[in-house]
């Protein structure tokens, strides 16, 4: 059987990274190794064209995806990502990691993921709503409370989930709140949902640190990604006595040896939509982030961030994978050789 017929040949692509990860596991599975072949093949992948009328009357087309990797344990579960780099290759990998994640936590769900290749910040709210509603209608054939349950991810939030729920409900003639999670509270959402993943990173990190003799109080933390996951995890570590000395996002890399005031940074980010220009820290070069003195690294942005070269330069004792697939397999080898402990994404960020 052709194993990579639907995947990119790039050795750095998310799907190839996933395949390399599970192939490494196979020798340790004994009589269960035959299941690796099943995990190499997504059950279902849907690609949809989304024609969108822009505010100026023009029509633009966007490509959307929904992939169900494995539904053996129950309905699919996984977020919807809006980002310019979204493609089928990435969504397949993210859905596969959701399969592993749900199984690792013994949840009665399978792995799924979705997304649209779009910069959500370039759209007006009206355009974003129309895009979401059309996408929901297009993937409506394969989602539902007993089929596949979307959730927020990079570039989406509770409002987007509300639009998805409303569209799906209208198409079915009755209110179906269970079609998505991460909804606003007044529409049946769960209290604490937005902070759950970041809190899970914190709780997992504290437990691993305690068992490994790593002190949280006074620890220097470097954070990549200041969204729901990264900001909440950092806030809790700060409350526990750690110092967040570096924060990186798409706009800038901030550094302050004395510690960055996360409350002030949150206010700045809310007002300016980025961390660049924050007066409470100095801006340094992007690659310098990976060479800073730190005790704990929290990659909480996108996949494929920790390369072999970056792993060779890291000074941390512990890595908490708040993002999905942030570490390449060859980087894992370097980290293991150097004695740097990694808490993998399928455990570390599974709280949400």
Q: Do 205 and 153 share a structural domain? A: no
Q: Do 305 and 234 share a structural domain? A: yes
Q: What is the pLDDT of residues 268-312, one digit of tens each?
A: 999 988 999 999 999 999 999 999 999 999 999 988 899 999 999
Confidence (pLDDT) at 4: 43
Average pLDDT over residues 208-230: 94
Return d(Cα 186, Cα 188) in angstroms, integer. 6
pLDDT band at 11 (very low <50, low <70, confident <90, very high): low
Calculate the average pLDDT of the chain. Answer: 93
Q: Do 136 and 177 share a structural domain? A: yes
Domain with residue 324: its CATH number is: 3.40.50.720
Please indicate, yes or no, if residue 316 is contained in any of the structural domains. Answer: yes
Please indicate, yes or no, if residue 2 is contained in any of the structural domains. Answer: no
Q: Do 102 and 76 share a structural domain? A: yes
Q: Do 289 and 168 share a structural domain? A: no
Listed residues 187, 214, 232: the one ending a domain? 187
Listed residues 153, 187, 221: the one ending a domain? 187
Please indicate, yes or no, if residue 1 is contained in any of the structural domains. Answer: no
Q: What is the pLDDT of residues 169-181, one digit of tens each?
A: 999 999 999 999 9
Q: Which of 43, 113, 147, 273 is catalytic?
A: 113
Q: What is the pLDDT of residues 58-83, one digit of tens each?
A: 999 999 999 999 999 999 999 999 99
Long-range contacts formed by 239-242: CB under 8 A, 24+ apart: 240/202, 240/206, 240/216, 241/216, 241/217, 242/216, 242/217, 242/218, 242/295, 242/296
Return d(Cα 148, Cα 80) in angstroms, integer. 12
Please indicate, yes or no, if residue 34 is contained in any of the structural domains. Answer: no
Q: Do 239 and 333 share a structural domain? A: yes
Domain count for the chain: 2
Domain with residue 135: its CATH number is: 3.40.50.10860
Q: Do 155 and 243 share a structural domain? A: no
Confidence (pLDDT) at 10: 56
For the annotated binding site for substrate, the residues are 77, 101
Q: 26 pLDDT exceeds 80?
A: yes
State the residue range of the domain holding 62.
Answer: 39-187
Q: Do 150 and 64 share a structural domain? A: yes
Q: Do 224 and 165 share a structural domain? A: no
The reported pTM is 0.88
Tokens of 265: 């940074």
Q: What is the pLDDT of residues 78-134, one digit of tens each?
A: 999 999 999 999 999 999 999 999 999 999 999 999 999 999 999 999 999 999 999
Q: Do 243 and 155 share a structural domain? A: no
> Is 113 among the catalytic positions?
yes
Q: Do 271 and 175 share a structural domain? A: no
Please indicate, yes or no, if residue 289 is contained in any of the structural domains. Answer: yes
Confidence (pLDDT) at 303: 86
Partners of 78 in the β-ladder:
150
Confidence (pLDDT) at 220: 97
Listed residues 187, 206, 229: the one ending a domain? 187
For the annotated binding site for NAD(+), the residues are 197, 228
Q: Do 159 and 75 share a structural domain? A: yes
Average pLDDT over residues 178-201: 93
The answer to whether 352 touches 197, Cβ cutoff 8 Å, is yes
For the annotated binding site, the residues are 77, 101, 197, 228
């Amino acid at each position: 059987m052709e194993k990579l017929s639907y995947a990119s040949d790039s050795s750095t692509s998310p799907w190839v990274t996933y395949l390399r990860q599970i192939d490494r596991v196979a020798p340790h599975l004994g009589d269960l190794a035959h299941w690796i072949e099943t995990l190499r093949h997504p059950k279902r992948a849907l690609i949809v064209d989304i024609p969108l009328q822009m505010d100026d009357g023009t029509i633009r087309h966007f490509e959307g995806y929904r992939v169900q990797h494995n539904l053996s344990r129950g309905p699919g579960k996984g977020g919807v990502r809006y980002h310019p780099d979204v493609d089928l290759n990435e969504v397949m990998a993210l859905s596969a990691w959701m399969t592993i994640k749900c199984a690792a936590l013994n949840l009665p769900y399978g792995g799924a993921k979705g997304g649209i290749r779009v910069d959500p910040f370039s759209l007006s709210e009206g355009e974003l709503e129309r895009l979401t509603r059309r996408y929901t209608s297009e993937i409506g054939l394969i989602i539902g409370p007993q089929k596949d349950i979307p959730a927020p991810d990079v570039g989406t939030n509770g409002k987007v989930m509300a639009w998805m729920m409303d569209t799906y409900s209208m198409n079915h003639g009755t209110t179906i709140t269970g079609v998505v999670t991460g909804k606003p509270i007044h529409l049946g959402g769960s209290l604490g949902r937005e902070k759950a993943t970041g809190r899970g990173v914190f709780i997992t990190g504290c437990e691993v640190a305690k068992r490994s003799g790593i002190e949280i109080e006074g620890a220097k933390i470097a954070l990549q990604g200041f969204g729901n996951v990264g900001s909440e995890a950092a806030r809790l570590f700060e409350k526990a006595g750690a110092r967040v000395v570096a924060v990186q996002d798409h706009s800038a890399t901030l550094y302050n040896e004395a510690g960055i005031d996360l409350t002030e940074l949150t206010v700045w980010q809310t007002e300016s939509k980025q961390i660049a220009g924050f007066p409470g820290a100095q801006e340094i070069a992007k690659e310098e982030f990976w060479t800073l003195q730190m005790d704990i690294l929290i990659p909480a942005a996108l996949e494929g961030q920790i390369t072999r070269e970056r792993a060779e330069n890291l000074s941390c004792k512990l890595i908490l994978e708040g993002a999905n697939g942030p570490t390449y397999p060859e980087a894992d080898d370097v980290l293991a050789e150097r004695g740097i402990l990694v808490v993998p994404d399928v455990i570390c960020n599974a709280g949400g």
